[in-house]
Amino acid sequence: MTRYPDLDSVVWTANDAAPALDHVLGFDSEAGLVAASDARNHPLWFDLRTGSVTSPAKAEARDLRTVDGSTVYAAGTDGAVVRFTPTGNWSYKPPQPATEVFPQSNGTVVVLGGRGATVTLWRMRPPANTLLDTAKADRVSSGVNVSLGDEVFLAREREIVGIRSRTLEFSHTIEFDHPVLAAAASPSGDRLYVITESSHRVEVVDRYQNRVTSRIDLPGQPRALRVDAFGRYVLVRGPRDSVWIAAVGTDQVISTVLTSWADDLPFVAPDGAIAVRNGADVVFRDVASGKELQRATGGSSDFWYPFVWTGFRRRAIAAQPITIAKPDSDTVAVRAPTRAESTKTAAPAPAPDSNKLGFTVSFSALLDEAQAREQAAKITVNGRAARVVTGIVSGTTVYRVVLGPYQTRDEAEQAGRASGQTFVIYAGTP
């Protein structure tokens, strides 16, 4: 793994062998986990903190999806709803075979099941084998999950209809002039970009108004599209090896590049440069001018996935947290770095040692504090009760149910197994 824009600087290497990747599913910045799918459509995780590569027990599934980078859901080839985690799998067979599973940020999943003119939607909260809500939908061909919203959009012929994941209530139907070809959501979840057959444009749907609010005119018929992971551009695949780049702010095509289209390329880097395949190399170009900014020699044989994470940064001495010491009296002495210490250039601290930090068992991450505390109250291992810790993920308060820390990974895994719950192990204190 390299650090952009210093593409020749390796900042992370896996300790374990990894299979050939097909595409990346998501990234958990809190746990430092990259979830991916291998060439056989099996999930795996790269742990950036420990250097490990984890693949759970194999299960045949399709359309792997994740919203947090840690838990992956899919519809099994046997019609079951399957949940994959680094420590094991869970599955449940609904009344009709599941065809698609849409995980939500609140811990629930929306399941699309059945075949034919009418399909069924269920809402459930794994690992509970209980269907919380049920709804019916007609002529559904596929679905699009809005990553940060609470809505799943279902495509059916020339229409797209939204369904609220919390209630399974349908919103206003959005109609198009031609059959829907593909759709992609913006990172913020506020807009949906739709391309249709026999149309030379991208329809821009406002999720809150439930209607097409603007259009992006294209030079030709689109074949596929993806939204820049940082929310600035829409990349549209055109005929042959042409890719049109449209600015989100203006809904206009600002440039065209010639490059092949794959699961990882082209993509937009954090600084706004577009990465395209050029023979055996990967070239980063300025979006507006097309000027070559950087070249990764031999980069076409690598797999590319852009994300921002500060976990690789080493903490300087001056940036150490304040220390609190409690003397014999009831007063508390607080020591912070002095002005001279804080302004003095400090040598980089050594990389953290996971054996010294310990290991934590994480059972779940919930948006509801009461539910998190209820689950924690049910988990006790060797007289040690689980507890709830609070964190912030993308501006949202998350309540994690955890045990630990433990001195070694083996101790943490033993505690996780003894709990009888699904769990994840990560290095460090909660």
Class of domain 21-301: mainly beta
Q: Is the pTM of this model over 0.75?
A: no
pLDDT tens digits along 38-93: 888 899 999 988 888 988 777 788 889 998 899 999 999 999 999 998 888 899 99
Per the CB < 8 A criterion, the answer to whether 281 and 244 are in contact is no
Q: Return the pLDDT at 19.
A: 84
Output b/e per residue, 222-231; b: 16+ Cβ within 10 A: beebbbbbbe
Classify burial at 109, counting beta carbons within 10 Å of its beta carbon; exposed 0-12, middle 13-18, buried 19 or more: buried
Report the SS3 class of residue 301.
helix
Tokens standing for residue 67:
């919203």
Sheet (strand 233-237) strand order: 224-227, 233-237, 242-247, 252-258
Q: For residues 301 and 187, what is the distance between their CA atoms, to the nearest angstrom? A: 27
**Geometric angle at alpha carbon 47, from 45 and 51, rounded to 5°:** 125
Q: Which residues of 139-148 are buried (b: 16+ CB within 10 A; e: fewer)?
A: ebeebbbbbe
Query: What residues of the chain score a pLDDT lower than 70?
Result: 116, 141-149, 312-357, 392-396, 428-430
Q: Residue ranges per domain, the chain?
A: 21-301, 316-348, 356-430
What is the token pair recorded at 360?
A: 């934590």
> Domain 356-430 adopts which CATH fold?
Alpha-Beta Plaits (3.30.70)
Of the candidates 381, 394, 128, 80, the residue with the CA atom closest to the CA atom of residue 402: 381
Is residue 56 reached through a cis peptide bond, with omega within 30 degrees of 0 on the bond before it? no
For 112-141, what is each residue's pLDDT tens digit?
Answer: 887 767 889 999 999 999 999 999 988 776
